[in-house]
A and B are shown apart, each in its own frame.
Chain A
Amino acid sequence: MDVPQTVTVALDDRPVAGRRCLEAGAGAGNATAGLLANGAARVYAVTNDRDHARTTRRRVGRDDGDGSDGDDGVDESDGDRLAVLEADLRAVPLPDDSVGVITAHGLCNVLDPASLSAVAEEFSRVASPGAQLVVDDYDPLPDGAAIGGLFAVENAASELARGRPALTFYPAAFLRRFFAGHGWEFERERTLLEPVPWTESHVSAHGDRAVSMAKEHPGEPCDALAATARRLATDIGSESVGRMYGLAFRFPE
């Protein structure tokens, strides 16, 4: 697969080659592919979503190692370098001091503050001395961004259905201080995307998610939210707005 430029730029000044890596929140497998392309000794790609685990194996496992298609459900079908683990990042299934690189590429925005704190504790636990931490995420959207309305509806539906927001956009400066508070030394910040292209596929996926969460909680307010989400997704189509940043930290020896 093609490694997205965001990942390429987020990693290109980081020492990845030969290191054991934790890709926290495997998602679409983008950062996993980037770590492998940069010569990682081994990548533990962790996600709590079975479909994402499967997607990562299918998209990334195929290109790596022995050419097996990686879609046979066996975690380590991809040569020796990739292990996709289905697990909760609040309890990472790896020993203390065991990884030299941690990537959180587009992860923090799907973690509410309580989960973010728990996950950060785990990062500090599994990081070996001298480890790298790469945190790529989105600044809060500027006022007037149409897609901000859709995210608000998605969050409202999520709050009603699950008692927590679906998305939280942490400012770069916030995560910088937050991870410093967990013992990480800040090394640099980059702008990965500006503006951020929220394409039709992003917008409709967020619309669909808002609708499905609204449906988990029957009742009038949720029907209204679902209808609003549908309308907003259609009206917005696509929008390029906001900034995606890349932070890099180092764990002291």
Chain B
Amino acid sequence: MQTRPLGDTGHDSTVMTFGAIALNWLEQEGANQLVEHVLDYGVNHFDVAPEYGDAELKLGPKLRQHREEIFLGCKTQERTYEGAWRKLERSLNRLGVDAIDLYQVHGLEYDEELDAITGDDGALAAFREAKEQGLIDHIGLTSHGDPGLILDALDRVDDLESLMFPLNPVVAGKDDDEYDYEAVLARADEKNVGTLGIKAFAGGSWPPTDELPESDRPFANWYRPVTAPDEVRERFDFAAAQGLTSVVSAGDPKLVTMILEAAADYDGMDEAAQRSLIERVRHDDSPVPEQLHH
């Protein structure tokens, strides 16, 4: 599988990152098998978080067995110094490892949170101490929030080495600033900060729960994912072709093999085909019913 430099970290990440949230939906034995399966494809970057149910615990055994082959990303939603230290120690315990390669501020959403993490008593102070102590190697940030906020974070946090944010053809087809994750990608590239793409496989939202109760959804994703192999492949190719360092696999284990196959076969996507995909999904939720032209 292709690898790309993750910003200035010195690590070359595979073009697919394994979203270990998928392990949460499996028993331990199945989780072990899935990790072996992912490693068989050569994937070398894993992403997990304490919020993903049991995923940290279920990743633990195989992570420890293959520690050298895996660049491990983990996260915390804590915004304070104390909270971040506590969560980091908890994650190290649950994962059963001495150090985390990439520790990320998880799910930044509001300006006040950016103020909080960068303050004297903020989470980043804990991150930096942990880095000095060798408990983490690199600092990152994740957000599905406002691109403007992510850009601010990029400006204000000097030692940020990676960003994780949404990128897919639906988002790429929208011009408003609130969807301008392409600007985030461009600025991150300028600053040589690594970029990890999420929501690459999002097809749309689920129907309202009175039409389809949550317990009847056929996939464990927050959104309705694309599920046909060709569509999964196109979505992967699109995200990888935008120039992200790596594309994070979707949260449902049923989709993982299709994504691995797409990632293993990835060899670029030409621009006319990228536009074709943007146009197709734009029409899928077009406000104009009888739009005859592209």
Contacts and interface: CB of A to CB of B under 8 A. Distances in A.
Q: How large is the interface on B (under 10, 10 to 19, 20 to 34, 35 or more residues)?
A: 20 to 34
B131 interface: no
Given A2-B174, A2-B175, A5-B173, A197 B276 contact: yes
B94 to A, nearest CB: 43
Interface stretch (B14-22, B152-160, B286-294): B286-294
B272 A194 contact: yes
Contact of A202 (B270, B271, B277, B291): B291
Which of B173, B272, B291 neighbours the largest number of chain A CB atoms within 10 Å of its CB?
B272
Interface residues of A, number: 30
Nearest to A206: B292
A122 B289 CA distance: 31
Interface string B37-60: 000000000000000000000000
Interface string A195-237: 1110111100110000000000000000000000000000000
B292 A205 contact: yes
A2 B177 CA distance: 11
B277 to A, nearest CB: 7
- Report, nearest first, the 8 A-B pairs whose CB atoms are least far apart: A197-B280, A106-B293, A194-B272, A199-B283, A191-B272, A5-B275, A2-B175, A193-B276
Interface of B: 173-176, 270-273, 275-280, 282-284, 286-294
Given A193-B294, A194-B270, 5 more contacts: A2-B175, A4-B282, A59-B287, A59-B288, A199-B283
Interface of A: 2-6, 9, 27-28, 30, 55, 59, 105-106, 191-197, 199-202, 205-206, 238, 240, 243-244
17 contacts: A2-B282, A5-B278, A6-B279, A6-B294, A27-B292, A105-B293, A192-B272, A193-B275, A195-B273, A197-B277, A199-B283, A201-B286, A201-B291, A205-B289, A205-B290, A240-B280, A244-B294
